[in-house]
């Protein structure tokens, strides 16, 4: 299964995603800040990133640009956001608006991890 990094400053969101994705055998790494997420990304072998678009200190767009510079476009990145607007998908493979049905996230992760391992 996949090694997934989740970056979000809301603990309840982190735990909900961790709980639901770990049921499918994924290894989950969580980060409560952009800096922690970038550090974890550099230390671990990550197959997919789920990142909140609005984070304190460094925003999610900065994090995604940095990860894209390190890993290129082959690494799937799913953006999540509670804003009324969603960013363009230039840097994201998919964007989900909070609150989102867990099934949508699971389907999205399944699609991108399948593509990555195919």
pLDDT at 75: 95
Could you write out the DSSP letters of every residue in 20-79? HHHTTT-EEEEESSHHHHHHHHHHS--SEEEEESS-SSS-HHHHHHHHHHHH-SSS-EEE
99 preceded by a cis bond (ω within 30 of 0): yes
The residues that bridge with 77 in the sheet, in sequence order, are 49
pLDDT at 4: 98
pLDDT at 102: 94
pLDDT at 57: 83
Domain coordinates of the chain in residue numbers? 3-117
Q: Which regions of the chain are under pLDDT 70?
A: 84-89, 116-118
Q: What is the mean pLDDT of the chain?
A: 90
Residue 29 neighbours by CB under 8 Å, 6+ apart:
3, 4, 5, 6, 40, 44, 46
pLDDT at 61: 84
In 3D space, the residue among 70, 12, 58 whose CA is nearest the CA of residue 49 turns out to be 70
CATH of domain 3-117: 3.40.50.2300
């Amino acid at each position: 299964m996949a090694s997934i990094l989740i970056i979000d400053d809301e603990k309840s969101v982190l735990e909900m995603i961790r709980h639901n994705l770990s049921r499918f055998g994924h290894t989950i790494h969580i980060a409560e800040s952009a800096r922690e997420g970038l550090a974890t990304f550099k230390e671990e072998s990550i197959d997919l990133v789920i990142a909140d678009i609005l984070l304190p200190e460094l925003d999610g767009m900065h994090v995604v640009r940095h990860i894209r510079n390190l890993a290129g476009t082959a690494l799937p990145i799913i953006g999540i956001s509670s804003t009324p607007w969603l960013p363009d998908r230039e840097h994201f493979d998919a964007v989900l608006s909070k609150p989102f049905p867990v099934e949508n996230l699971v389907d999205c992760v399944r699609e991108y991890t399948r593509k990555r391992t195919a």
